[in-house]
């Protein structure tokens, strides 16, 4: 039996944030992670530009992430995220859409600086340690050297959700805990049963359109993939679409319907392809969508161009989702994110039952809950140390 002071299980953003707080308060910390290297999902998120947070108010973040995260986001919001990253030597900038990125754009420089700070404080990282549950007061791990039990004065669980299992988050921990809401994909693409003619536009982006699900509208870019639609424009609507809302797209959002009607006219021997290209100025991928979902050209109308129904065949699988809905229910946690049934055990990150869109909300929420749980754990240790 190995006995330690502070144990953090999971080396993603939430777990590292908890370790940052605990080690900053002077506590020796051991981090255990099932993967051979830390924060793999974080690094993957940074491959296309690390969107660390969003330059909005706390209310914006609460509206996106859920009321349950309000105290955490009030304690560590977007401005705090920027100051924290800059404190690690990573200058930040805000893009035209309000998304906030490191100037380096990648996640790796930030992660290296973060790990270096933790190492300098004496934090230990145990790799390839898979948590399998509790045995009495101890956490049990499968390790390359066999089963190991660790008993800690405080523990922070930050093992992620159930998406991108190859990067470390497979949700297996749910079998060892109670009151876990079923996992559902979030921030994911959607399957489409394409007609053969769509093959020529696979991999191409759809830009300059407006996607709609009920009363939600997204102007983000979407990629036409071999299996369906994916990208920020569709992720922003994924919760509504997953729950049954229909998807529509306005192919000419900046044109009034009257202008579309004036240009949607076939003259002489002009082909419908020419009408889409010359009259409506639709690029090949938008024209392909019109042919795919618009029915016979004789039935095309300005109203259809402005509100084209898109037939979806369901969400992409959970393991292809950026994040998840579901997880450990807040009702089993106290206001410091401690399990009421296991005093001294705190929880953070995507393990919790919340759902945030991309655009910086997700990472901000993970950092905020990780720091909140780490602070709670530090307070727990202090209260039991006999110090004032």
| pTM recorded for the entire structure | 0.92
What's the pLDDT score for residue 172? Answer: 94
What are the start-end ranges of the H helices in 33-152?
Answer: 40-45, 58-65, 70-75, 78-87, 108-120
Domain that holds residue 199: 190-310
* Domain membership flag for residue 317: no
CB 354 within 8 A of CB 327: yes
pLDDT along the chain (388 residues), means of 10: 96 98 98 96 87 94 95 97 98 94 96 98 98 97 97 98 89 94 95 98 98 96 97 93 97 98 91 95 98 96 98 94 94 98 97 89 97 98 77
- Is the same domain home to 180 and 306? no
What's the pLDDT score for residue 42? Answer: 93
Gyration radius of the chain over CA positions: 24
Do strands 99-102 and 53-54 pair parallel, antiparallel, or not at all (unpaired)? antiparallel
What's the pLDDT score for residue 388? Answer: 40
Phi-psi label, residue 382: left if phi above 0, alpha if psi -120 to 50, beta otherwise: alpha
Q: What is the mean pLDDT of the chain?
A: 95
Given the structure tokens 């051979």, which residue do they identify?
36
Please tell me the distance from the alpha carbon of residue 202 to that of residue 91, in angstroms, as a whole number: 36
Residue 261 to residues 47, 229, 300: CA-CA distances in angstroms? 42, 28, 10
- Is the same domain home to 14 and 111? yes
DSSP code, position 245: P
DSSP code, position 258: H
Residue 196 to residues 64, 99, 191, 311: CA-CA distances in angstroms? 38, 37, 15, 15
- Is the same domain home to 223 and 285? yes
What's the pLDDT score for residue 386? Answer: 65
- Is the same domain home to 81 and 211? no
User: Of the candidates 255, 283, 310, which is a domain's last residue?
Assistant: 310
Model confidence over 173-209: pLDDT tens digits? 999 999 999 999 999 999 999 999 999 999 999 999 9
DSSP code, position 277: I
- Is the same domain home to 300 and 235? yes
Beta-bridge mates of residue 217:
212
Do strands 146-157 and 138-143 pair parallel, antiparallel, or not at all (unpaired)? antiparallel
* Domain membership flag for residue 163: yes
Encoding tokens for residue 247? 């998807």
The CATH code of the domain that includes 154 is 3.50.50.60
- Is the same domain home to 171 and 207? no
* Domain membership flag for residue 298: yes
- Is the same domain home to 136 and 264? no
């Amino acid at each position: 039996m190995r006995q330690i002071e502070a144990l953090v299980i999971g080396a993603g953003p939430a777990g590292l944030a908890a370790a940052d707080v605990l080690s900053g308060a002077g506590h020796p910390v051991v981090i255990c992670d099932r993967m051979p290297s830390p924060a793999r999902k974080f690094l993957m998120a940074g491959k296309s530009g690390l969107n660390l947070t969003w330059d909005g108010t706390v209310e914006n973040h609460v509206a996106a992430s859920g009321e349950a995260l309000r105290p955490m986001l009030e304690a560590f919001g977007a401005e705090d995220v920027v100051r924290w990253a800059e404190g690690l030597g990573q200058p930040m900038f805000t893009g035209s859409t309000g998304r906030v990125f490191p100037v380096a754009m990648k996640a790796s420089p930030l992660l290296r600086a973060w790990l270096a700070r933790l190492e300098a404080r004496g934090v230990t990282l145990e790799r390839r340690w898979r948590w399998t549950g509790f045995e009495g007061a101890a956490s049990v791990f499968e390790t390359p050297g066999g089963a190991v039990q660790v008993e800690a004065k405080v523990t922070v669980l930050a093992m992620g959700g159930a998406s991108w299992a190859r990067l470390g988050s497979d949700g297996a921990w749910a079998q060892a805990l109670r009151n876990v809401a079923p996992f559902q994909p979030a921030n994911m693409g959607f399957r489409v049963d394409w007609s053969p003619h769509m093959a020529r536009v696979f991999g191409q982006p759809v830009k300059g359109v407006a996607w709609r699900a009920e009363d939600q509208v997204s102007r983000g870019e979407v990629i036409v993939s071999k299996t369906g639609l994916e990208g920020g424009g569709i992720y922003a609507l994924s919760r509504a679409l997953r729950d049954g809302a229909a998807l529509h797209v306005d192919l000419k959002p900046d044109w009034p319907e009257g202008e579309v009607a004036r240009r949607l006219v076939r003259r002489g021997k002009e082909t419908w392809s020419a009408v889409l290209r010359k009259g409506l100025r639709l690029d090949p991928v938008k024209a392909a969508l019109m042919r795919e979902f618009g029915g016979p050209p004789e039935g095309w109308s300005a109203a259809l161009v402005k509100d084209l129904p898109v037939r979806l065949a369901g969400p992409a699988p959970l393991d292809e989702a950026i994040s998840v809905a579901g997880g450990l229910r807040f009702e089993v946690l106290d206001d410091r994110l401690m399990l009421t049934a296991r005093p001294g055990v705190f929880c953070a990150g995507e393990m919790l039952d919340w759902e945030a869109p991309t655009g910086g909300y997700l990472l901000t929420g993970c950092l905020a809950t990780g720091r909140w749980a780490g602070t709670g754990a530090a307070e727990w240790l202090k209260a039991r140390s006999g110090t004032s």
